[in-house]
Amino acid sequence: MNATLEDLRRRFPRVAVVHEWLTIPGGSEQVVLELLDMFPHAELFTSVYDPGPWPPQITDRPVHASFLNRIPGAVGHYRRLLPLMSRAYRSFDLSRFDLVLSSNHASAKNVRMSKDALHVCYCHTPMRYAWEPAFLAEEELGPLVRLGLPALTWYLRRQDLKGASCPDAFVANSKHVADRIARFYGREAEVVHPPVDVEPLLKLPRRPDDAYLVFGRVVPYKRVDLAVNGCRLIGRRLKVAGDGRAMSAIRALTGDRADVELLGKVSMMQRDELLSSARALLFPGEEDFGIVPIEAQAAGVPVIAYGTGGAEETVIDGVTGALFSEQSPSALAAAIERFESMSLDPECARRHAASFGRARFQREMATAIAKAAEARAL
């Protein structure tokens, strides 16, 4: 891996990393941090930038934000600017770079660059707002917005498809996403699973109690409501750690129930304590990959997940957890009861999670970039 990476650094001395927006840290931003570690002198381009929550690895380098960043309230309401995102990325001048690495789940891949430069897109997913209208079904949208959704979807799909011709090569974060890239864009993609910082979790002690855990952003598609209602059906305790725009709905759903604890945003130390004590992690949403189940398994925690999308690639049914096939409270409740009849070895989960570490990502990503460069040279 080191020789390959050093070769790439010499071959591509001027590197641009392009990411959708830098507002709230999440899984896709871990990919950005890893790409910056691979290419320490890279410059960073994004649509909207809030420097507050980011480490020096980002803030100590040139970060170029688009014209959207000058719009009042853009940092808090960047999703409303989605129709302008493609134009924002097309406005960047990347002509001086030899290598462009885009971290894409909306429009970052749509950048313009020198015809002699190599563009490799790490695709978290084709734009779900455009291709999967059901993705917005649970969002709080006003009646006028919903009325205009068909026209907006058509426009976004057109822009996304046009942008899909820009990269020389696609790298998908899962087989699930590679299938989407083939279906929507007609392009092939290498699969490189995202980097997960598993090392600090592999030695975490296990002291499980009787409470199940939901961890991460509380947004509609994560389906925290299923976890609440599934545990209610069979009288199981639940802890919800995290915050987000769906939290008010979850509070209304739980009311004053003593068997559900809404913990809000937690520190890394609190996260470790929650993982140590969790009976299992509940993961009821459909994810393109899903980093939290890997983190849980690294800590020896079994995962009960909706068995589609990335969970099919990260959770081994009957070995590191249990999968269920329908997003309903009864299906989740049945999976919990099935899990409780199993005898699972935490060390199996830890060994499985260890295969998703950061060094593996850098090695595989370097290989994918080198292959793309070779293919372009033919």
CA distance 32 to 122: 10
pLDDT given at position 245: 84
Four-way CATH pick for 2-195+357-377: 3.40.50, 1.20.1630, 3.40.30, 2.40.350: 3.40.50
- We find that the CATH architecture of domain 199-354 is 3-Layer(aba) Sandwich (3.40)
pLDDT for residue 6 is more than 60: yes
Intrachain domains 2-195+357-377 and 199-354 with the same fold = yes
Q: Which pTM value belongs to this model? A: 0.88
pLDDT, one tens digit per residue, over 69-97 is: 999 998 888 878 888 999 999 999 999 99
- Local confidence band at 139 (pLDDT 50, 70, 90 cut-offs): low
pLDDT given at position 138: 55
CA distance 21 to 45: 9
Instruction: Decide which of 134 and 101 is more confident.
Output: 101
- Local confidence band at 135 (pLDDT 50, 70, 90 cut-offs): low
pLDDT given at position 153: 85
pLDDT, one tens digit per residue, over 300-317 is: 999 999 999 899 999 999
pLDDT given at position 233: 96
pLDDT, one tens digit per residue, over 19-68 is: 999 998 888 999 999 999 999 999 999 999 999 999 999 999 999 999 99
Domain boundaries, the chain: 2-195+357-377, 199-354
pLDDT given at position 1: 45
Instruction: Decide which of 214 and 256 is more confident.
Output: 214
110-114, 134-138, 270-274: the lowest-pLDDT one: 134-138
Q: What is the mean pLDDT of residues 156-185?
A: 95
User: For all residues of the chain together, what is the average pLDDT?
Assistant: 92
pLDDT for residue 271 is more than 90: yes
